[in-house]
Chain A
């Protein structure tokens, strides 16, 4: 009997703890009351744009508190796939939608509508202890194709080169392949060297480049932290290097910059339309500049 009694008490205590932990959070003063009309927007896609989307969402709470927005990363390809599967209202992508994806969408009754919402420079990054400061696009292309195996060949220390890239579901990966590795030449069929590390997130790339003096990687400028070193790009050997910034992207001197897109199913309507109009207005584009991206406003 004693044991039974004890078991009952301990179960009750556990239930109590559970009940307390399940108690709803005290209502937040910022949130609108439950009965006000609400709209919910689901945004999914590019990891490059996650921070940007978060900053927009935070600021948008002051503009229209009745709209709730949830944001998921996962990569441009993931975002477009969810738009096709109708599990998101808006897909962010750091690359243009592919023709095969458009065909797939049309067969599923989805009509992808494209809006350019910002631009971004792709920064080539190395460990801060690496003495190399700048490279030409040709050199970067050769490195990622595996034509260089040691930093000595590029004026660095006697260290092996470790190539770090995003997974192929990343829009940044595809952009880098087309514009840097293949130098923008559609006939060029070069590929990343097979031993290129394919890391599933931007954070993974920053972490590896920060810790490993052998590493070279690339990432959207908005993601680059001060713990890694951004390389300058030389237009041709011997010319002064150009570093990525809003100005150099805007005036077109920094060669590796791309547009960032939002895709919706058909013309955006209702709450999504209001959100996109706000993003394209001065307050929305101000956040773009603040986070190190490049505005689409003239």
Chain B
């Protein structure tokens, strides 16, 4: 390494030329990698569109918007599935956002340094738990207990799915919002405390608003994580395509879009109507997570603009 810096080295010009060539090749490769991500997304989207839109011609809209999902007999009502996915996601958000945010605030603002050093890795381990393991715990331990505790007909309900999905989303919410809180300059807090704010007031009125964009991103990422999760929900929600009618449906079995695709994709003949409808569901799922992501970045953008206005 060092001899590169020695002036007048005999190999310098040759080396420089070689380095320049390598530079060009490497940056071209990196550029291609960067573009390939976009190309892949577009290719997946086009593939989903072509396979999914074939269903539009094969199944009338009135069938799509009916309330019965039983594809073996040609009932392709996707409303119960969309409802099921949204229900489980809303349940998971209600469960994971308060807990995740409180944990992040504790880690970033209150916990002593040694506690932080323990808590952060432990929460990240929770993120690494395979979802099939969580589903198994759900079937064996959570669902029977929920049934007894709440006196429900069965424990395999949207609620069980929401709780487990919440557990999956919590690590995402904690680590992203903790990073955001950590990024708030110490001078903000010091200033708040100096003018007589209590610690709680400093957290609630200063740190949290200052870290708002990061916290919102964290919540959106958590929602995105919940809506796309498959294995856990397939194992614990009972997979009954029941029409969702309000929050009381949380205590009933439900069937999500992801579980439907996972359970049925293996059996369908390629190119059949059922196959196309499953791609249609995949397309809807893709659009929903796209909307979640766009909302997240729009919110972050708006918040930043406002913060800039205040600062200027």
**Residues in chain A within 8 A of chain B (CB atoms):** 74-75, 77-78, 81, 84-85, 100-101, 104, 159-162, 167-169, 174, 189, 191-192, 194-200, 204, 207-208, 211-212, 214-215
Which single member of A75, A100, A162, A189 contacts B269 (CB below 8 Å)? A100
Bound Cα distance A167, B240 (Å) = 10
Bound Cα distance A160, B252 (Å) = 13
Contacts of A167 in B (CB 8 A): 239, 263-264
Residue B154 CB within 8 A of the other chain: yes
Contacts of B143 in A (CB 8 A): 211
Residue B257 CB within 8 A of the other chain: no
Say whether A197 contacts B154, CB under 8 Å. yes
Residue B195 CB within 8 A of the other chain: no
Contacts of B269 in A (CB 8 A): 81, 84, 100-101, 104
Bound Cα distance A177, B241 (Å) = 17
Residue B71 CB within 8 A of the other chain: yes
Bound Cα distance A104, B269 (Å) = 7
Contacts of A81 in B (CB 8 A): 266-269
Contact with A along B134-151 (1 / 0, CB 8 A): 000001100110010000
Say whether A200 contacts B267, CB under 8 Å. no
Task: Give the residue among B67, B140, B144, B238 with the most A Cβ atoms within 10 A.
Answer: B238
A92 shortest CB reach to chain B, Å: 14
Chain A residue, CB-CB nearest to B259: A200
B255 shortest CB reach to chain A, Å: 7
B273 shortest CB reach to chain A, Å: 10
Contacts of B147 in A (CB 8 A): 211-212
Residue B36 CB within 8 A of the other chain: no
Say whether A195 contacts B242, CB under 8 Å. yes
- Beyond A168-B70, A208-B154, A211-B144, list 9 extra A-B contacts (CB 8 Å): A75-B266, A75-B267, A78-B267, A84-B269, A85-B270, A104-B269, A191-B68, A191-B75, A195-B240
A230 shortest CB reach to chain B, Å: 21
**Residues in chain B within 8 A of chain A (CB atoms):** 67-73, 75, 80, 139-140, 143-144, 147, 153-156, 234-235, 238-243, 252-253, 255, 263-264, 266-270, 272
B139 shortest CB reach to chain A, Å: 6
Instruction: Show 18 A/B contacts (Cβ-Cβ < 8 Å), sorted by A.
Output: A81-B269, A100-B269, A100-B272, A104-B272, A168-B264, A169-B264, A169-B266, A189-B73, A191-B75, A192-B70, A194-B69, A194-B242, A195-B242, A195-B253, A197-B238, A199-B238, A207-B140, A211-B144
- Given A168-B70, A168-B71, A195-B242, verify A78-B155 contact (CB < 8 Å): no
Say whether A198 contacts B154, CB under 8 Å. no
- Given A162-B154, A167-B239, A207-B139, verify A195-B252 contact (CB < 8 Å): yes
Say whether A200 contacts B235, CB under 8 Å. yes
Say whether A194 contacts B80, CB under 8 Å. yes
A206 shortest CB reach to chain B, Å: 11
- Given A208-B154, A212-B147, A212-B154, verify A199-B267 contact (CB < 8 Å): no
Say whether B72 contacts A168, CB under 8 Å. yes
Contacts of A161 in B (CB 8 A): 153
Bound Cα distance A174, B68 (Å) = 17
Chain B residue, CB-CB nearest to A201: B235
Bound Cα distance A161, B140 (Å) = 21
Bound Cα distance A195, B156 (Å) = 11
Bound Cα distance A200, B260 (Å) = 11
Say whether A200 contacts B263, CB under 8 Å. yes
Bound Cα distance A195, B67 (Å) = 12
Which single member of A75, A160, A208 contacts B156 (CB below 8 Å)? A208
B50 shortest CB reach to chain A, Å: 20
Bound Cα distance A159, B153 (Å) = 8
Which single member of B139, B140, B240 contacts A196 (CB below 8 Å)? B240
Contacts of B70 in A (CB 8 A): 168, 191-192
Say whether B239 contacts A199, CB under 8 Å. yes
Say whether B155 contacts A212, CB under 8 Å. yes
Chain B residue, CB-CB nearest to A76: B267
- Given A197-B238, A214-B153, verify A74-B266 contact (CB < 8 Å): yes
Say whether A198 contacts B240, CB under 8 Å. yes
Chain A residue, CB-CB nearest to B262: A200
Contacts of B72 in A (CB 8 A): 168, 174
Say whether A200 contacts B154, CB under 8 Å. no
Chain B residue, CB-CB nearest to A103: B269
Chain A residue, CB-CB nearest to B69: A194
Bound Cα distance A104, B272 (Å) = 9
Contacts of A211 in B (CB 8 A): 143-144, 147, 155
Bound Cα distance A154, B40 (Å) = 57
Chain A residue, CB-CB nearest to B144: A211
Contacts of A85 in B (CB 8 A): 270
Say whether A194 contacts B240, CB under 8 Å. yes
Bound Cα distance A247, B252 (Å) = 40
Contacts of B266 in A (CB 8 A): 74-75, 77-78, 81, 169
Contacts of A196 in B (CB 8 A): 240
Task: Give the residue among B73, B139, B147, B266 with the most A Cβ atoms within 10 A.
Answer: B266
Task: Give the residue among A100, A159, A211 with the most B Cβ atoms within 10 A.
Answer: A211
Say whether B263 contacts A198, CB under 8 Å. yes
A-B CB proximity, top 10 nearest:
A77-B267, A169-B267, A160-B153, A197-B238, A198-B239, A78-B266, A104-B269, A162-B154, A195-B240, A168-B72
